[in-house]
């Protein structure tokens, strides 16, 4: 790959060891609170340390967060739209996604193929930029889903290409085997680093059951929300790319 990034949850500490590489840029996945009270994961890409601190201060106030993202012209996305990973969802959440989020994650390397297909369909329906990412928590899954911009020679051209709609996503979706393997790898690393955790090794027999249950819940979440959202009539006031803070702040207030 020509470029790579790391999106830890609400943190950029994991990027410290990678900053020196010329083909790496710092990103993160913010856990944000919607006006409805539900939570959503927002990917924010190519951020500076000072911007990271500002993002954390605003993640519980979506309007303030969107204002800041617009002012700084940061590239951002709403991730795994049809996943129950962050808990419950409300129909008004999707209205916010439609109006104010220019980019959707349409291929996640650990989400069900059905969820990814519905996210891609919704992105086309709402004229959104589509991106992909592996969502890897262990090395075997790194790079299993990714975003391409043909002809981009550097980071600037990569993001310019995405904003202009000439990018595409590639790679594979998630499945039971893939997730289970990642969880076993994580458990093995934990036991290697902290020997006392090996006492919990008998619980490893339960891992396949937990991962299977997770995907059952994901399937039910997708089955509930995809028909509702995809059947909604399109609105005329739709954001493809936010060019200034007033588009978010003034209109929503």
pLDDT tens per residue, range 115-168? 999 999 999 999 999 999 999 989 999 999 999 999 999 999 999 999 999 999
Task: Report the pLDDT value the prediction gives residue 200, as an integer from 0 to 100.
Answer: 80
Residue 51 confidence (pLDDT) above 60: yes
Task: Work out whether the CA dihedral 177, 178, 180, 181 comes out positive or negative.
Answer: positive
pLDDT band at residue 232, thresholds of 50, 70 and 90? confident
pTM metric for this prediction: 0.87
Task: Report the pLDDT value the prediction gives residue 235, as an integer from 0 to 100.
Answer: 62
**Both tokens of residue 1?**
């790959």
Q: Which residues contact 204 (CB under 8 A, 6 or more apart)?
A: 184, 187
Q: How far apart are CA 108 and CA 94, in angstroms?
A: 18
Residue 63 confidence (pLDDT) above 90: yes
What distance lies between CA 117 and its chain's CA centroid?
Answer: 15
Q: Which residues contact 214 (CB under 8 A, 6 or more apart)?
A: 179
């Amino acid at each position: 790959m020509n470029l790579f990034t790391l999106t830890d949850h609400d943190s950029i500490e994991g990027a410290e060891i990678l900053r020196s590489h010329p083909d790496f840029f710092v990103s993160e996945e913010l856990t944000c609170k919607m006006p409805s009270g539900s939570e959503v994961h927002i990917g924010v890409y190519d951020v500076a340390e000072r911007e990271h601190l500002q993002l954390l201060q605003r993640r519980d106030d979506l309007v303030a967060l969107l204002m800041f993202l617009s002012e700084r012209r940061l590239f951002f996305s709403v991730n795994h739209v049809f996943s129950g990973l962050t808990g419950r969802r409300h129909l008004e959440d999707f209205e916010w996604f439609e109006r104010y989020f220019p980019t959707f994650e349409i291929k996640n390397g650990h989400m069900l193929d059905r969820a990814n297909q519905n996210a891609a369909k919704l992105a086309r329906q709402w004229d959104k930029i589509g991106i992909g990412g592996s969502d890897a928590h262990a090395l075997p899954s790194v790079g299993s889903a990714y975003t391409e911009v043909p002809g981009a020679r550097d980071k600037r051209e990569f993001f310019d290409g995405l904003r202009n709609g000439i990018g595409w996503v590639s790679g594979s979706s998630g499945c039971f085997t893939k997730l289970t393997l990642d969880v076993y790898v994580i458990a093995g690393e934990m036991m290697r680093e902290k020997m006392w955790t090996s006492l919990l090794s008998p619980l490893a027999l339960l891992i396949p059951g937990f991962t299977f249950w997770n995907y059952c819940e994901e399937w039910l979440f997708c089955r509930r929300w995809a028909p509702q959202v995809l059947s909604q009539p399109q609105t005329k006031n739709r954001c493809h790319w936010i060019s200034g803070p007033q588009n978010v702040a003034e209109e929503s207030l």
